Amino acid sequence: MDQLKALLLRHDLYVPTAAEMNEPRESHPPLIRLSIEEAAGYLKRLLPAPYNQQASILEVIRDSGVDTITELITELSLFKYAEIRLYSMSKRWDNMALWVASGANHAGYCLEFFNRGLLRLSREVIYTRLHLNVETPPEAVWIYYKSADWQHEEEVRFFLPDGTIAQPMRILPNLLSRVILGKDMSAVDRKCICRWAARRDPPLKVVRISHDPRSQRLTLKKL
């Protein structure tokens, strides 16, 4: 609730690091086992001269083993991206699975943003395994890949390089569209959020989730 209050009243948005996310291997998708030639081709593209000599790379891989090289690539990428800041969002507010998993089992809230300004940097997450070869997307875009286990999130995200913007950061007030409250949020929390929204400049619309038993869908109602 403290972060929500800061966003509503001071327009301060906190963007967490990859290391703070709930996916242990955030920003590094699962890798399909490499052949020696594939591992060599990938490392040749990745490494600077004179370390990218194909013959030398093949020799190192044969000595170390493909699995060791794959694990090394994984660990280096995890280290590299640990402090990159990621802001994750879903493409729709009525995602039932997310209200259960990330919305305090319908007792939390959802922030809805306009697709403008900073939010236009967002890209859809790709849920797949990566096969490391010369055609694999460069590491710079691995942050948009996740395991298929997470595809129910229907996620879009933007990232900030480490250390570029102090956190929390000030955003334009007109980026936030409305606050959507979970159907089971306590009356105390509802009143508190509505009070903050009314004090905000400009004032912010607050609506509440309802569940339609006939259609088995989530709908919205005014407070």
Torsion of CA 44, 48, 50, 52, to 10 degrees: -10
**Residue 29: is its pLDDT beyond 70?**
no
Residue 134 to residues 25, 37, 52, 55, 131: CA-CA distances in angstroms? 23, 10, 13, 16, 10
Q: Which has the higher per-residue pLDDT, 76 or 57?
A: 57
| Predicted confidence (pLDDT) per residue in 154-199, tens digit | 999 999 877 778 899 999 999 999 999 999 999 999 999 999 999 9
pLDDT score of 79 more than 90 = no
Model confidence at 125: pLDDT above 80: yes
